[in-house]
Amino acid sequence: MASLFDPMQARRLHPYPLFRRRPLLRHLPACVLAGALWALALPVTATEPIPGHSLESIRTWVLEHNPELRAMGLETQAAEARILPAGALPDPMASVGFRGLDPDKPWRTVGAEREVNYALRQRFPLWGKRDLMRTAASQDAVAIGLDRITAARDLLSDAEAAYARYWHADQAVAVLDRRIALLRQVEEIAGVRYALGRAAQQDAIRAQVEQTSLQRERIERLAAKQEAAATLNAVLGRRSDAPLAAPDEAPRLAVRSASLAEALDAADTHPAVRSQQARAEAARTNVVLQRRNRFPDITVGVGAMQLGNGIQSTELMLEVEIPFQQRARRERERESRLLEEAALARRDATLRAVEERGASAWAQWTSARERRQLIQNTLLPQADATWQSALASYQVGEVDFGTLLEALNEWQGADLARVDALRDELLGAAAVRAIEGDIR
């Protein structure tokens, strides 16, 4: 026999009857449509290009996706939007006044009819003040736009430097891998000579110890590669663990200037210097504006008086400011002059800083280039010849294993030094290009 509590238990298990759930099917088409759109969006996300295969992909990504540049671009547009309002007329003032009201009952008039006064006033800044305010706002907008160009140069220089370190770490690991492979070959040669009784077992053991040391250095280079990848992603505005494509070839960073003097000639036109110059011009415009504030502005107004249902009279008003607060005006003028001098001093300081950066970058670039050329053209061929001679001599027993190992270390060490010098050359070239203004 069924319990009397069965319907109650069934209601607890299913608090909503089935016929109440049917309206939920109305949302099914919307869910299906959303799923279809999401499925269509997946290939687009999956096929998004991954930067890192070339230096051009890094530059393009910085200019298009860096959040700092995007924010500064919006700030530039906001500054441009302030130009028109800066020179606009102030909003007019409208007023309505009632006369003849009963003090005890303000909503009633004393007499038979209520007197109403209407007035409209407009303030007019004279003496070219509106043009000066518009000019100052325009100069500020130019300065903010130049700040964005400066940030773009610095970010591109940082991205090029980070990419050079990323490429260098990969190349350094490749050099160490070749060196380890050569040591294994040397170990095999030493083992064969030991089996023939022509060499000591210590030679093979020493080769193994050298391989272990190189494995430790390889781990350090791989860690440096991960750090370089995280730095590069940070400059690109991506997650630090975002994937990067493997570099296809060595980055090329051309320097246009033929001498340091030619490179420093571009310092005067650097956007950071021009930005400070624009701010100095805006401060100078503000000095003129503060002087013009000595002369009063006027306010023009019109009014009408309504008595009953008709206009009783009209009026025309003219108001003139009285320049009474002379001390405050003189302090504002003094403030504007001091701000102008500060802007000029900051422009000079920026120019000196740009020149110092350019000279340091030029010294780094030329020194690394000369070192790389010396290693590539002289040291590497010499070390290669020494290695080949030592290998041939060791196979016939004319030199010991220590001489062979030293020749191998000098040869592969010179190759690693070449890669390091090329990295320093690329870092210096990136800094010089930031001064020259090559952001392509």
Q: Of 51, 69, 47, 72, give the one whose Cα is nearest residue 60.
A: 51
pTM of the model: 0.74
The 10s digit of each residue's pLDDT in 210-235 is 889 889 989 999 999 899 999 999 98
- Low-confidence winner among 43-47, 136-140, 304-308, 410-414 (lowest mean pLDDT): 43-47
If pLDDT is split at 50, 70 and 90, which confidence band does 438 have?
A: low
DSSP state string for 255-320? ---SSHHHHHHTTTT-HHHHHHHHHHHHHHHHHHHHHHTTSPPEEEEEEEEEETTEEEEEEEEEEE
pLDDT in tens, 15-69: 444 444 444 444 444 544 455 444 444 443 445 678 888 888 888 888 888 888 8
Give me the mean pLDDT over the 240-265 stretch.
85
Q: How far apart are CA 268 and CA 68, in angstroms?
A: 25
CA distance 271 to 262: 17
- At 107, the pLDDT band (50, 70, 90 cuts) reads low
Q: What is the mean pLDDT of the chain?
A: 82
User: For residue 202, what are its two tokens?
Assistant: 């210590």
